Each structure stands twice: as structure tokens, then as C-alpha cells.
Copies of this chain bind each other. A is one copy, B any other.
Amino acid sequence: MLMKDLFELTEIADEYLKSDKTVEISIINSIKDIVFNNGYFGIAQINTIAGDLEYNSKKIAKYIRFASAVGLEAVVFPEFALNGFPIGDVVKRHGVLLSDTKKWLKEIAEFAGNTVALVGFMEQSGDSSKYYNSVAVLRYGQVQRIIRKQVISNTSRYNDNKYQVADISDDDLYCGYGITIGDEIFSDKQILQLVYNKRPKLFINCALNTYADSRKILRANCYSYFASKYKKPFIYVNQTGANDNILFDGTSRVYDASGNLIARAKYCEEQFLIVNPTGGEGKIYPLPDGYDIGLRDNEEFSLYYGDLERIYKSLVTGVKDYFSKCGFKRAVLGLSGGLDSTVCAVILADALGKENVFGVSMPSHITSKESKTDAEQLANNLGIGFAEAPIWEMVETTALSLNGLFTNVEKKWNVRYKNPYTPDNIQARSRAMFLWGISNEFESCVPIATSDKSEAYMGYATINGDMSGGFAPIADITKTKLFALAKWINKNRPQKDVIPQSVIDKRPGAELAIDPKTGKPLKAEDALMPYEFLDEIIWRIENKHQCYNELLNTVFVYEKRNNISKVQKQEWLDKFYRRMSTAFYKWSIMPPFVMVEPHSINSCDYTQPITTSHINYKGADVKYINSCLGSNSGA
């Protein structure tokens, strides 16, 4: 056997730790030879299931056993490692979760021998429906100390700040470790300075960050700054993986006393890392391409998306975790031969395994032959299940039944539309009926909603139709980015060119209605506006918080490439605001989807009451206001 270095050995051990197997004794001994009594720390970047104490505890115990066996000085787990996150209002309903946490923690402590284990957990407070956000110090078979978060921020979307109680404790030093929890170090209470005053030998931050959090922290280079300011090593341990819509991005980091990065864990992967913070030994794993794209100071909208590897990994993790944590196995989706369903199929196949994905082509009388061919070609390329199931009989029967009904309703209501969307929607809903049917008929199978972010903004999706499903893999990705992602997939996935080129080349359209001008299926951009323009509006209102008038006065990338009039631009902006203001209801019933961009329409990131649809987004001037209010003459 060749001599392996510490990091190779750790990688081998890591594979065992993630599997059901126990780590081979030879590996343990080889690692022990290097790390025993030499100031090495274990970074346990774990993926937890929210509220599943048994699952999380087993994992934590296994990692602690390993850390003790190899003789690490300490092993550090993230914030809320034992309980997972988010918890929402669960503590209010399942008080047992708080009392049980204590029990599990006590038993886990038995595995901590000489090695110190730091485990984030929810600590029941005196008021039984509240808790401290705490880190337990486990050693010599017992809970030695509990450190509580001192500042609870007000910004969480997950209700947890309603239940967390802050506590100023003097006990945040153990063995010379200055221990802090999550974002309290960024508060104006100068928590780190207070800890520093107690003369720690190094800092440890047990945290819980999404990509959106991380980019803010990294943009300001906070951890490195703290390390170099106080001249102490800084250990930051994060969770990884998704629960519902929130995705923790891993990339735990260790900085030496000069602020140099000496170790970094992978993005969105469970990992056990060994590092020597004072000795400066560690391994820096690469970040996915474009991880730092949000870190530039002067962010500009661009159609050249550089963070596609990060997006791809995030989407696959989002799907994989939602399915496995909820206990689902299979997915069924409609394959239209269009971009959205195509990208969804690839993500699903990679997240669940091709044998667990079934694609159904459901042509109507409008569906082109090319669409059907593309759908089948993709399914064959991916090796997923495939069937064709025409919807025309169902559409015809439904339309017939409805026509009779409409005649009856019309007798009472003389407000029938001349050109209703009814025929379009019957098609979309018939397809959803098929997919939900399969989900009802086969075990552990979830139908997929294929709506993308551009369409969600425009409300360009059918209720109980294409926007309906148990999960919506790409609801946080705009259309132009999806095109870029499709190209990236063809180039970078182990199996190349899985997506038929014609899918990438054609202009998107729902194929639900015929354009009377061309006699061909209506294209989405004709009903909406050019996607390049639309996606820049979305980017600007999400990232720059620009209002209507600011957008009007900003030169769009699309404008630089195409000659459009001010009137045309205004028309598109008006259409955007008008459509968005009627889309809030649809957002409120969107299936779950994981947030992968810094901003999202997910209700965890953005909420707007449906009744606010009348907001005057253009603003009013004094003249208009006075004309509304009338004169001050009598009551």
C-alpha cells in the first residue's frame, strides 16, 4: 500500500461515513498516527432532516465516534445540527421535539471521549414553547457546557425568530475555543469582540447559511477579516442540503490567524474535513463555477450566465433531498419537447436515477410532429421511461360537456368572453389529470410542475395545469438562463448532448393555441415580450430593487442589441407590471421548489398580498392626487 496523505485518508473515511459501513481500522489508525494530540479539528458539514431527531442523531453519533477514534482535538457540527432547519411552528405543536432533543443529546454525549464535540441544537427554555439556539459542548461522556446564541435576528422567513430566545452567557469559551452561533457575529452587539476579550485561542462559528447568505458574507470577506483582525484562526461550519425550499450551501471554511483560507469543504455535499487551524494544514476543495459571481462589486445583468454549474448542482440537490426526505422515490412529468420539461427531465434523472423517472408525451391536435419527436428522443437519450398518451379524446369530451354547461350559465350571466382561454386551459389541465392519475396509481410517485421563473412572473401558467405538481424543479430559473443551462448540460454532463439541439434552437411556446396570423402555434414571446427583455426586468427588480420609472430610464441589454422605441419599451413594462400584479395568487399556490438564486418568488423570499394588485406602480404626482381628493369644500 502506498503512503497516503491525511487528506486522501480523510476522503476514504468520508466515503465510509456517508455509507452504512464502518470505517476500516487501518484507515483509522493511519489517520490517528498523524492527528493524535496534534491540534487537528474535524469539520462535520452534514445534511440533516428537519425535525427528524433519530436520523440526525445517528449521523452525529457516527461522526463523533469516528473523531474520537482517530483522536481529533475537536469535531464541530453546524447550528441546529441535531434538529435540522427550518422548524417553523413545529415546537408549538410538537412540544415533544424540545424535550426529546435533550434526551438524544444526552445519549450522544456518551460517544464523546477525550475529543470535544460541538453540536448545534434547540435548547428548551423555561417557557416550554420557546427555545435557545444553542451549541452543546460534549466531552468525557457528558454535556459539559451549553453556549447560547446572544442575538436573534429579525429577518428569518421561517418563523423561528418567534420562538428563539436570546441569552447573554459568559460561557462562550471552552478549551480556549471562542464559540459563536450563526449570524450573531454580524450584529452590532460586537459579539466577537466580547469573545475576544476572554482571550480565546481560536474562533468557532457554528452556522446555517444559504448561498444568498454566503455571498453577502463572502462579498465582505467577513470571516477572513475577523481572523486577521483578531489574529486568531477562524473555523466556520455550515450545514448542506435542502429542506423544502431552503438550500444550505456547505462550503465550510477555516482561516488561519492571518486570515488566509486553509480549508474549505465542497458545495452542497456532505463532507467530513480534517484541518489543523494553528498548524495551517488543510485542504481547499474547489467551488462550482460561478459560485462567486454574485461577489463582484458592480453587478450588471448579463445574458452570459457563468454560474451554471452551481445552479445545476443546486437543482439536483433540491430535488434529491425533497424526495428522499419526504420518502418519495419516483417522478412523472409531461414531456412537451419544449425547454422547461426537457431541463426538468435531466435534473430529475440525475437526482432520482433514470429508472425512477417517467416522461409522458401528451399531444393535442395542435402539437407539432417535431415536439413529439424531441420528447421521445430526449427520453431515449436519458434512458427514462416514456409513453405517448394523446389528450384529444379527453379534450373533446370535456369541451362538449362544457359547451352545454356554458349555455346554461349564459342564461344567467351575460358576460361570456369572446375569445376565452378555456380551450387552451382544458388542454393543460387534461395533461395534469394524466400525470396526477399516474401518481395516484403507482407507489411513491410525484408529478412534476415544469413552470419556470419567467412564466411565473407573468402568470403564464395554467392553474391545475402545467403549474400543478408535487414539486417544481425550475421555478427559480428564468427562461434565458434555462437556455444557457441546457447548453451547459449538453457540454458538461458526463453523457454529452443529451438534449436534442432542436429543443435549444426553437422559440418557446405552450402549443395550446394557434396564432391566427401565422396559422402556427402561438409563441410565448408574442403573448408576452422577448424573454431577454423580460428576464432583465426580473433581474433588476429582484437585485436592484428598481421601480417602474427607474426601469424606464435604464438601458437594457436587449435595447443595445435591438432597436426598440420608447413606446414599445413602455408597453412591455406596463404589461409586466399588469401581469405580475395578477400573478400573486398563482405564486401563493405554487408547488414547493428550492431557492437557488439570491432572490425568488418563493413565499419564503418574497410575499405580496393578493389584494395589493391595485398598487400604483408608476407613482402619482401632486396634480393627480389633488384631482382625486377634490377640493376642501364642505363634507
Encoded as 1 (CB less than 8 Å from any B CB) or 0, chain A from 459 to 482 comes to: 000011000101000000000000
Q: In whole Å, how far is A20's beta carbon from the nearest beta carbon of chain B?
A: 12
Once A413-B358, A415-B442, A425-B436 are accepted as A-B contacts, the answer to whether A100 and B610 lie under 8 Å apart by CB is no
Give the residue of B111, B545, B621, B626 whose beta carbon is less than 8 angstroms from that of A632.
Answer: B111
In chain A, positions 79-133 with a C-beta closer than 8 Å to chain B are 84, 86-90, 92-97, 99-100, 103-104, 107-108, 110-111, 129
Does A298 make an interface contact (CB < 8 A)?
no
Query: Which residues of B sit under 8 angstroms from A607, Cβ to Cβ?
Result: 88-89, 158-159
Query: Which residues of B sit under 8 angstroms from A608, Cβ to Cβ?
Result: 88-90, 93
Q: Is the CB of A635 within 8 A of B69?
A: yes
Once A322-B611, A612-B51, A628-B54 are accepted as A-B contacts, the answer to whether A442 and B417 lie under 8 Å apart by CB is yes
- CA of A619 to CA of B603 in the docked complex: distance in angstroms? 31
Encoded as 1 (CB less than 8 Å from any B CB) or 0, chain A from 606 to 627 comes to: 1111111111111111100110
Does A429 make an interface contact (CB < 8 A)?
yes
Q: In whole Å, how far is A61's beta carbon from the nearest beta carbon of chain B?
A: 5
Q: Is the CB of B413 within 8 A of A442?
A: yes
Q: Is the CB of B626 within 8 A of A107?
A: yes
Does A268 make an interface contact (CB < 8 A)?
no
- CA of A172 to CA of B417 in the docked complex: distance in angstroms? 55
Give the residue of B107, B244, B391, B617 whose beta carbon is less than 8 angstroms from that of A610.
Answer: B244
- CA of A584 to CA of B93 in the docked complex: distance in angstroms? 13
Q: Is the CB of B442 within 8 A of A416?
A: yes
Which of the candidate stretches A143-151, A224-232, A256-264, A395-403 sits at the interface with the other chain?
A395-403
- CA of A404 to CA of B388 in the docked complex: distance in angstroms? 10
Q: In whole Å, how far is A627's beta carbon from the nearest beta carbon of chain B?
A: 10
Q: In whole Å, how far is A241's beta carbon from the nearest beta carbon of chain B?
A: 10
Query: Which residues of B sit under 8 angstroms from A549, Cβ to Cβ?
Result: 96
Q: Is the CB of B612 within 8 A of A90?
A: yes
Does A190 make an interface contact (CB < 8 A)?
no
Once A416-B442, A429-B436, A548-B96 are accepted as A-B contacts, the answer to whether A629 and B405 lie under 8 Å apart by CB is no
Q: In whole Å, how far is A170's beta carbon from the nearest beta carbon of chain B?
A: 23
Q: Is the CB of A49 within 8 A of B90?
A: no
Does A301 make an interface contact (CB < 8 A)?
no
Query: Which residues of B sit under 8 angstroms from A591, Cβ to Cβ?
Result: 585, 588-589
Q: How many of chain A's residues touch chain B, expressed as a range?
A: 35 or more
Q: Is the CB of B625 within 8 A of A104?
A: yes
Does A52 make an interface contact (CB < 8 A)?
yes
Number of copies of this chain that the complex holds: 2
Which of the candidate stretches A195-203, A276-284, A324-332, A521-529 sits at the interface with the other chain?
A324-332
Does A504 make an interface contact (CB < 8 A)?
no
- CA of A473 to CA of B436 in the docked complex: distance in angstroms? 25
Q: Is the CB of A426 within 8 A of B422?
A: no
Q: Is the CB of A49 within 8 A of B611?
A: yes
Q: In whole Å, how far is A546's beta carbon from the nearest beta carbon of chain B?
A: 8
Query: Which residues of B sit under 8 angstroms from A326, Cβ to Cβ?
Result: 610-611, 613
Does A216 make an interface contact (CB < 8 A)?
no
- CA of A75 to CA of B88 in the docked complex: distance in angstroms? 41
Does A369 make an interface contact (CB < 8 A)?
no
**Chain B: which residue is nearest A97 at the CB level?**
B615
Query: Which residues of B sit under 8 angstroms from A412, Cβ to Cβ?
Result: 355, 358, 385
Query: Which residues of B sit under 8 angstroms from A463, Cβ to Cβ?
Result: 436, 468
Query: Which residues of B sit under 8 angstroms from A445, Cβ to Cβ?
Result: 413, 415
In chain A, positions 33-64 with a C-beta closer than 8 Å to chain B are 49-55, 57-58, 61-62
Q: In whole Å, how far is A327's beta carbon from the nearest beta carbon of chain B?
A: 7
Q: Is the CB of A443 within 8 A of B468?
A: no
Give the residue of B158, B408, B437, B632 whose beta carbon is less than 8 angstroms from that of A426.
Answer: B437
Q: In whole Å, how far is A443's beta carbon from the nearest beta carbon of chain B?
A: 4
Does A387 make an interface contact (CB < 8 A)?
yes
Encoded as 1 (CB less than 8 Å from any B CB) or 0, chain A from 562 to 600 comes to: 000000000000000000000001001111100000000
Encoded as 1 (CB less than 8 Å from any B CB) or 0, chain A from 380 to 399 comes to: 00000101011101100110
Once A420-B440, A612-B50, A617-B96 are accepted as A-B contacts, the answer to whether A470 and B585 lie under 8 Å apart by CB is yes
Does A295 make an interface contact (CB < 8 A)?
no
Does A222 make an interface contact (CB < 8 A)?
no
Does A154 make an interface contact (CB < 8 A)?
yes
**Chain B: which residue is nearest A60 at the CB level?**
B629
Q: Is the CB of B433 within 8 A of A415?
A: no
5 contacts between A and B (CB under 8 A): A49-B612, A52-B615, A326-B613, A402-B437, A406-B438
Known pairs A52-B612, A243-B612, A433-B464; list 8 more (Cβ under 8 Å). A51-B615, A93-B541, A107-B626, A327-B613, A387-B405, A406-B438, A406-B441, A422-B441
Closest 4 CB pairs of A and B: A51-B612, A387-B408, A66-B635, A385-B412
